[in-house]
Homo-oligomer: A and B are copies of this chain.
Amino acid sequence: MSVTERLLANADSYAGRFLEGDRPDPPSTHVAIVSCMDARIDLYGIFGLSGQAHMIRNAGGIITDDVIRSLSISQRNLGTREVILVHHTDCRMLTFTDEAFADQVERDTGVRPTWAAGSFTDLEEDVRKSIAKVRDSPFVLAKDSIRGFVYDVHTGKLTEVYTAT
């Protein structure tokens, strides 16, 4: 049995105890959270949510065009107004360079990725850069609350990154 099969068995029992009913599309908190895909970051637990916020996640929690696209749709079409950015300690993105990653992929597959791996060398610095990218994007409407954090995967603690404005 694949792990997927086991997860699907859980999805069945989840549906069985699901309270049917209309649920509104726009998130009730009006918050969008951008974070790393890392398995150790339980955004629902950390922020006390059972939904209610948009969750945008990729490798590193970095600000790519795809994240700007998602934030733009989140704000324009679904009314979110606050942005929370979460990077985390012990992130694999700190352990390689974009060039080494692309070299390895090219060696293994014969094809060099057209995208950069998005690695970084300093967590706080990358959070600051990420805040700036969101703030400077013409496609993000609401900029009053764009705040960036580092989550410690070993202590569960979220620390705000100071941002000079």
Interface residue ranges, A against B (CB under 8 Å): 2-4, 7-8, 10-15, 18-23, 25, 27-32, 37-42, 44-59, 64-70, 72-74, 76-78, 82, 84, 90, 92-93, 95-96, 101, 104-105, 109-111, 113-115, 117-118, 138-139, 145, 147, 153-158, 160
Contacts and interface: CB of A to CB of B under 8 A. Distances in A.
Contact of A4 (B28, B82, B93): B82
Chain multiplicity (copies): 2
A156 B20 contact: yes
A130 B160 CA distance: 36
Nearest to A78: B92
A38 B51 CA distance: 8
Contacts of A82: 2-4
A54 B27 CA distance: 22
Given A7-B49, A39-B51, A139-B111, A156 B18 contact: yes
A117 B74 CA distance: 11
A3 to B, nearest CB: 5
Given A7-B31, A77-B96, 12 more contacts: A2-B145, A4-B145, A10-B46, A15-B155, A25-B40, A27-B39, A37-B54, A39-B53, A41-B51, A64-B66, A65-B66, A109-B139
Given A14-B46, A69-B59, A4 B23 contact: no
B118 A104 contact: no
